[in-house]
Amino acid sequence: MHTARNLALVALLAGAPLLYAGNAHAAGGEITCRMTFELHGWSVFYKKADGSGQVSCSNGQHMSVHLRSRGGGLTFGKQRIEGVGKFSGIFNIDSILGTYVTGGAHAGAANSANGTVMTKGNVSLALSGTGKGWNLGIDFGKFTISR
């Protein structure tokens, strides 16, 4: 009888860290994260841009990131964009990493402004920036953030 009770106690204690880990997400609360970035790219039906950014969050976390955008559509151009991204649905800075779904229409010549919103599960990213170059088209694709 003591063996069964001891096994139950061991099982309960072994599961305690898992219960805590599951509640840590809810207990920590949502944080705000902001990214400054620079992208360079071109498009001729296929759209390609690469860049880098710095992310900082309201809880003090920060990270340098690599950015990669790939897609296609009826799109032509070459540009350099500098801007700011604002994340929502974040509970830990690592949540920003991964691939986001994008789509939109764009047109610009010389100096232009640009903005787009993209999602990855429950996480959203709103990008806004200014650029130099020229572009015209409708595109779709993916935007990847990595370390």
DSSP 8-state code for residue 92: S
4-53: pLDDT as tens digits? 444 333 343 444 333 333 434 445 799 999 999 999 998 887 889 999 99
47-80: pLDDT as tens digits? 899 999 999 999 999 999 999 999 887 777 888 8
The alpha carbon of residue 28 and the mean position of all alpha carbons in its chain are separated, in whole angstroms, by 20
pTM (two decimals): 0.75
Pair 122, 89: CB distance under 8 Å: yes
Domain ranges within the chain, ordered by starting residue: 29-146
Domain 29-146 is found in CATH 2.40.360: no
Please report which residue ranges of the chain form alpha helices under DSSP H. 2-28
Helix (H) or strand (E) holding 99: strand 98-120
